[in-house]
Amino acid sequence: MPEVRGVALDMDGLMFDTEPLYELAADRLLQLRGRRYEDAVRRQMMGQPGPQAIRLMLDHYGLDEPWQAVLAEAEGIFAELIQQELRTLPGLPALLATLDALAIPYGVATSSRRTFAEDLLARGGVHTSLRFVLTGDDVTHGKPHPEIYLAAAETLGIAASSLMVFEDSGNGCAAAVAAGAVTVAVPGPHSVHHDFSGAALVADSLEDPRLLALVDQCCRRL
């Protein structure tokens, strides 16, 4: 395995259990239009920046509405939901503590918009330890395009091959693999059937002993 000199973490579904909240927000949005949120469109939307995800949803359901207005409506519904419940996924504190102990810089690379990402990270209490926060607002191409992970490596001043990425979705995994990063897939219930081809490890969770062993193997040699 290559020596890892930096780490990028996806946010939704990897650090925080937000995917059920996104699904609930999308379903509420669609119910107001006489539709229901379907798994087929959910798979397409995962990992995409907000504007692109909303346009995919509108196209899928044949809804002729301005995407900007629909996105604002969806964000309003989601904002109400996260005020009620935001849960850090088990294993995240131990992973970040391990990276801190190994002096490995890390940050977040998420398709969420910056306002939401910064809010979630502040609520989760991890924003102060991050070297960078890259969002869907910072890239032209969403996942599975590798742009965001190439940008993460550039931000840290390292080669993409020296970057380790933690992802929970097939689109995110494909983006990291395409960037040439050491990719660790950590699927949740929403993504367990996704394609994680090219990942160095498909972990059961952030608490999977194999995950921390891989981090130690790749980072301790520095």
Give the domain ranges of the chain: 6-17+87-219, 19-84
Distance, first Cα to last Cα, the chain = 13
d(CA 117, CA 135): 7
Strand ranges across the sheet with 182-185: 133-134, 106-109, 6-9, 163-167, 182-185, 201-202
d(CA 10, CA 107): 9
Segment 13-28, tens digit of pLDDT? 999 988 888 889 999 9
Q: What is the pLDDT of residue 89?
A: 93
Give the pLDDT band (50/70/90) at residue 42: confident
Least confidently predicted of 121-125, 185-189, 198-202, 206-210: 121-125
Q: Which residues contact 189 (CB under 8 A, 6 or more apart)?
A: none
Q: What is the pLDDT of residue 127?
A: 81
CATH of the domain spanning 6-17+87-219, picked from 3.40.720.10, 3.40.50.1000, 3.20.20.140, 2.60.40.10: 3.40.50.1000
Segment 144-171, tens digit of pLDDT? 999 999 999 999 999 999 999 999 999 9
Annotation: CATH topology of 19-84: DNA polymerase; domain 1 (1.10.150)
Average pLDDT for residues 111-115, to the nearest whole number? 89
pLDDT above 70: residue 33: yes
Tokens 């196209």, located at residue: 59
pTM above 0.85, yes or no: no
CA 26 to the chain's CA centroid: 17
